[in-house]
Amino acid sequence: GAGVSQSPSNKVTEKGKDVELRCDPISGHTALYWYRQSLGQGLEFLIYFQGNSAPDKSGLPSDRFSAERTGGSVSTLTIQRTQQEDSAVYLCASSLVAYSGEQETQYFGPGTRLLVL
Amino acid sequence: QKEVEQNSGPLSVPEGAIASLNCTYSDRGSQSFFWYRQYSGKSPELIMFIYSNGDKEDGRFTAQLNKASQYVSLLIRDSQPSDSATYLCAVAFSGGYNKLIFGAGTRLAVHP
C-alpha cells in the first residue's frame, strides 16, 4: 500500500510569510507525528496526533507553529511569519496506534525541505 | 531532560567488516528502542526495534539491549558500501505514548 506522503517536497519562502505543510499518513494509521530535522542534526519532535486531537504539542518551538488534523487522516503544519531559523526538513510519520503495550513502528514520509530566505 | 546520545562519527569500516554502532539513553524506565537508517537527503527508514534485554538478529543486523547499563547497540555484519548512511537511535521513554526521542545519529562509511 501507499506510504506516508508529504507536500510540497520543497518550499522556498521569504522571511515573514506563512507556509503550510501537508502530510497524508498511511491509510488506517491513527497516530501521526511531526518532526523537524535541521541540517546535520537529529530529529526534533514537534507534535503528535491521536485521531484528530493533539495530546502532546510540547515540541512546537513557538506560537508561530500550529498543526491540525482532520478526519483522522490528513494533517497540516502551519508556520506563521517564517524566520530563517525555521529552515529545515519537516518530517511526518504515522503509526497504526500510538500505544498498545508495545510501541508501534513509526513510518516516515519523504519530508518537506523548507528554506526561508 | 530525556536524552539519547550517539557518537557522531564518522565511523569508517572496510567492506566485509563488522560495524558497531552504540547509543546510550538517560531514562532508566524506557521500554522500546529503534534503529533507523537515513541516507543523505532521504527520510529515516526502520532497521530494527528491540524491547527486551539481549540480542535480536535480523539478517546482517543485530540489535543489542542492556537496560541495566542503559545502552543499545547495532551490529552490522559483512558491511557493504550500500550500508553507508547515518544511523539514528530512537527511544520511547517511559510513561508516554509512542513519542520517540532521537539521537543525533552516527555516520557510517563503508569503504571498498
Q: Which residues in chain A touch residue B44, judged by CB atoms under 8 angstroms apart?
A: 43, 91, 108
Beta bridge partners of residue A75, listed in sequence order: A23, A69
DSSP designation for A96: S
Q: Which residues in chain A touch residue B101, judged by CB atoms under 8 angstroms apart?
A: 45
Q: Please name the residue of chain B whose CA is at the shortest distance from the CA of residue A50.
A: B97
Is B104 within 8 Å of chain A by CB? Answer: yes
Q: Please name the residue of chain B whose CA is at the shortest distance from the CA of residue A98.
A: B98
Of B31, B46, B105, the CB nearest to A42: B105
3-state secondary structure at position A48: strand
Distance in angstroms (rounded) separating the CA atoms of residues A16 and A24 = 26
User: Given this model, what pLDDT does residue B28 score?
Assistant: 84
User: Given this model, what pLDDT does residue B101 score?
Assistant: 87
User: Given this model, what pLDDT does residue B95 score?
Assistant: 61
3-state secondary structure at position A9: coil
Position A40 pLDDT exceeds 80: no
Residues 6+ apart with CB under 8 A from A110: A4, A5, A6, A9, B42, B43
Is B39 within 8 Å of chain A by CB? Answer: no
User: Given this model, what pLDDT does residue A97 score?
Assistant: 72
> Cβ distance A61 to B64 under 8 Å?
no
A22 CB-contact burial (10 Å; exposed 0-12 / middle 13-18 / buried 19+): middle
pLDDT mean over A90-116: 83
| One pLDDT digit (tens) per residue for chain B, 112 residues | 678 999 888 999 999 999 999 999 998 888 889 999 999 989 999 999 998 899 999 999 999 999 999 999 999 999 999 999 999 999 887 666 667 889 999 999 999 9
> Cβ distance B56 to B73 under 8 Å?
no
